């Protein structure tokens, strides 16, 4: 049987589709203004932290119940087959093309060595649109549920990671009501950045606090001087707790009882550009830390 030739779109059709995707992206960013939608965004990120901010929003807008997405061939490589008749989710793919100095491509970005980065619509499918191939192993469960005893060993993972990065972690007494903190490096004494976690906390809370402090470091919050940090402390704390919440979800812990109340209300007061910037930074930091902390099978399933 002859293979059906794919219908090619003309430049105007491709540009119209790109504009429609950009409109969806803008509407999705605006929706993050409510604290409930911010919490929903963070929940969604636990399954899609490896995707760009734009593609997370586009997947979320088209299929809020999506759990894991991949391209048609990628699902086949994972032992799953997209069902006949399923409609793909349209997201942004990227690549580079060689250009001349006078090229003008509104959908591209300048790149080095005479090349331009371009974006184009591609289709992906949610795992719910696929069936397990005969004889293949089901890898849809990527993490075990974490109990209050930190059975997944999150604290140990964070300690190992930070120690390898030259950041010592201590469990000890902290000020009343303080779960933990990260002390900046001291140039006068040569003391490095260090993390302190309250040793009176329950294991699950110690693990969450360790994720929060690791997020501060990964996000570069300690690179600012003290005055700058104080000026942006609210946003910095929201970023760190949001990253901790996403990572906990990836690793199997539900920290919503603590984290959602921690960030509630911030999005309603923030400007749209600040919301977008913060959401992007949260996703990037979660990606970085997940590479170091998440199990290998989870990283493989969630990879774009």
Q: Are residue 292 and residue 198 in the same domain, yes or no? A: yes
> In a 3-state reduction of DSSP, which class is residue 23?
helix
Q: Is residue 141 part of a domain?
A: no
If phi over 0 gives left and psi between -120 and 50 gives alpha, with beta otherwise, what is residue 59? alpha
Give helix 233-251 / helix 203-218 axis angle, nearest 10°: 120
Q: Are residue 76 and residue 172 in the same domain, yes or no? A: no
* Entry pTM: 0.64
- Residue that is last in its domain, among 132, 166, 197: 132
Q: Are residue 168 and residue 277 in the same domain, yes or no? A: yes
**pLDDT tens digits for range 101-144:** 555 544 455 555 567 778 888 999 998 899 988 877 665 543 23
pLDDT value for 274 = 84
Q: Name, in order, each residue with C-beta under 8 angstroms of 48's C-beta and a sequence gap of 6 or more.
A: 55, 56, 59, 60, 66, 68, 69, 302
Rounded average pLDDT per 10-residue block, the chain, 304 residues: 52 77 80 82 81 90 87 87 94 76 52 70 91 73 46 90 96 80 88 92 90 94 79 85 88 74 68 87 91 59 40
Q: What token pair was written down for 221? A: 């919050």
Q: What is the C-alpha separation between 60 and 32, in angstroms, rounded?
A: 12
Q: What is the C-alpha separation between 98 and 115, in angstroms, rounded?
A: 4
Q: Is residue 266 part of a domain?
A: yes
Q: Are residue 118 and residue 180 in the same domain, yes or no? A: no
> In a 3-state reduction of DSSP, which class is residue 92?
strand
Q: Is residue 36 part of a domain?
A: yes
Q: Is residue 231 part of a domain?
A: yes
Q: Is residue 71 part of a domain?
A: yes
pLDDT value for 156 = 94
Q: Is residue 63 part of a domain?
A: yes
Q: Are residue 162 and residue 261 in the same domain, yes or no? A: yes
Q: Name, in order, each residue with C-beta under 8 angstroms of 200's C-beta and a sequence gap of 6 or more.
A: 173
By residue range, what is the domain housing residue 286? 154-302
Q: Is residue 137 part of a domain?
A: no
Count of domains in the chain?
2
């Amino acid at each position: 049987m002859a293979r059906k030739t794919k219908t090619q779109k003309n430049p105007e059709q491709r540009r119209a589709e790109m504009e429609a995707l950009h409109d969806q992206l803008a509407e999705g960013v605006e929706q993050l203004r409510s604290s409930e939608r911010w919490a929903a965004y963070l929940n969604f990120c636990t399954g899609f932290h490896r995707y760009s901010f734009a593609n997370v929003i586009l997947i979320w807008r088209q299929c809020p119940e999506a759990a894991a997405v991949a391209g048609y061939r990628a699902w086949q490589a994972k032992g799953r087959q997209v069902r006949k008749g399923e409609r793909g989710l349209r997201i942004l793919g990227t690549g580079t093309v060689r250009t001349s100095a006078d090229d003008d491509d509104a959908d591209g970005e300048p790149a080095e060595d005479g090349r331009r980065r371009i974006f184009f619509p591609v289709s992906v499918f949610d795992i719910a649109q696929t069936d397990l191939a005969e004889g293949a192993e089901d890898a849809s469960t990527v993490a075990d549920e974490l109990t209050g005893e930190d059975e997944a060993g999150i604290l140990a993972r964070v300690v190992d990671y930070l120690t390898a990065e030259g950041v010592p972690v201590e469990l000890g007494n902290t000020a009343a009501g303080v779960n933990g903190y990260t002390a900046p490096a001291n140039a006068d004494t040569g003391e490095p950045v260090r993390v302190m976690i309250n040793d009176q906390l329950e294991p699950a809370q110690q693990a969450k606090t360790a994720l929060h402090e690791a997020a501060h470091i990964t996000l570069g919050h300690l690179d600012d001087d003290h005055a700058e940090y104080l000026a942006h402390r609210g946003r910095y704390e929201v970023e760190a707790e949001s990253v901790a919440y996403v990572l906990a979800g990836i690793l199997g812990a539900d920290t919503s009882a603590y984290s959602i109340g921690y960030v509630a209300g911030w999005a309603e007061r923030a400007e749209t550009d600040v919301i977008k910037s913060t959401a992007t930074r949260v996703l990037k930091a979660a990606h970085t830390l997940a590479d170091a902390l998440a199990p290998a099978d989870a990283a493989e399933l969630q990879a774009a």
